[in-house]
Amino acid sequence: MGKLGISVYPERSTYEQDKAYLDLAHKYGFKRVFTSLLEIKGDKEEVLSGFKKVVDYANSLGMEVMIDINPGLFTQLGISYDDLSFFHDLGADGIRLDLGFTGAEEARMTRNPYGIKVEINMSQGTTYVDSIMDYSPDSEKLLGSHNFYPHRYSGLEYQFFLSCTEKFKNYNLNTMAFVNSHAATFGPWPTQDGLCTLEDHRDLDIATQVKHYKMIGGIDDITVANAYASEEELKAMAKAFNASMPEIKIVPRETATENELKCLFEATHSYRGDRSAYILRSTMTRVTYRDLDFPAHDTDTIERGDIVIDNDGYGQYKGETQIALKTMKNDGRVNVVGRISDDELFLLDFLKPWSSFKMIKE
């Protein structure tokens, strides 16, 4: 089972705010904390002691802290990749290398005596991970995480994201990607239009972003990149992450009958495997609710994303629930009872034959 994470940026906030946020995330079962130490401005000791206080508090809650660093910081602090005691003293469980070395150094770093994990950038699309694996790292201590992108339209394209992720999954390495909170106001840099890994996620609800990652597969851990997500968002994220099956948001029509709403929201739907190009069939509702009536109504043209139920005129199919995959003529035997919410319509492409799912009311 993967882990959920949040991000804190001590240099841009206060200890009290970070502490309250860590408590809130802990309440909803979040286990990871991402933070960054890309540069140290001002009094080094003061910055590091403030930083350590937050790390210590996260550790006291049993949360794992990963610190994002760049090679310049090694120079600034006089640290060698051969000696990770500095990060051990800071209380970090691991370090994320924003920019890496040549492969040999990373492999050596995974064999440090403190058990500190080394997380590397998954979003480069290069053979970087292959180079590290050539030097026999301790793969239990080697993790991958995607980048996040504060500039609108600069996030990863979906197919590229898949190919980058696959390189890491081929080695069975733990993977992580970021989602964007709409309540959050800041990240590690002054300017941001939200922080997400996939550009397509930027304006979506946080739960929808999580559902998408789960339906794609290949990503173990999911972290909110910006601070601070709201309690509502953390709760929705945990619910989506821990759900045993996807829950797709539906907008029912006001004309949908009580019997039809039972089909939509009480049933566990199963995508029938002998698939059609036109409809995704959830056939069990016609068995479960075979004694109920489904009189004809709303028999208009059917569009992609519509939720339809075969009415009394369809004989043995009466009560079968379907999701339209294409525009279709309606001969009067099919009731249009609702549709997938606009922001989750794209998830239709990720439902797999033989998989189960629930419909929830938007």
Same domain, 270 and 311: yes
Q: Are residues 257 and 332 in the same domain?
A: yes
Give residue 173's pLDDT. 98
pLDDT digits (tens, 9 = 90+) for 74-117: 888 888 888 999 999 999 999 999 778 889 999 999 999 999 99
Q: Give the pLDDT score at 195.
A: 97
* Domain assignment of residue 234, given as a range: 4-243
Structural domain ending residue among the three candidates 228, 243, 258: 243
Question: Does 35 lie in the same domain as 181?
Answer: yes
| 205 and 328 co-located in one domain | no
The CATH number of whichever domain residue 267 belongs to comes to 2.40.100.10
What does the pLDDT read at residue 24? 98
Examine the domain organization and report whether 131 and 211 are in the same domain.
Answer: yes
Q: Judge if 104 and 191 occupy the same domain.
A: yes
Residue where one domain finishes, among candidates 202, 225, 243: 243
Residue 227 has pLDDT above 80, yes or no: yes
To which residue do tokens 């080697």 refer?
Answer: 142
Band (71; pLDDT cuts 50, 70, 90): confident
Count of domains for the chain: 2
Do 265 and 164 share a structural domain? no
187 has a pLDDT exceeding 80: yes
Instruction: Say which CATH number the domain at 234 has.
Output: 3.20.20.70
Return the pLDDT at 168. Answer: 97
Q: Which residue has the higher pLDDT, 5 or 101?
A: 5
pLDDT at position 62 over 80? yes
Residues 234 and 286 in one domain: no
Q: What pLDDT digit, counting tens, does each position of 244-256 carry?
A: 999 999 999 999 9
Q: Please tell me whether residues 142 and 205 are part of one structural domain.
A: yes
* pLDDT for the residue 39: 75
Q: What pLDDT digit, counting tens, does each position of 12-58 carry?
A: 999 999 999 999 999 999 999 999 987 787 788 888 999 999 999 99
Q: Are residues 217 and 274 in the same domain?
A: no
Residues 305 and 163 in one domain: no
Of 211, 243, 275, the domain-final residue? 243
Q: Is the same domain home to 195 and 344?
A: no
pLDDT band at 351 (very low <50, low <70, confident <90, very high): very high
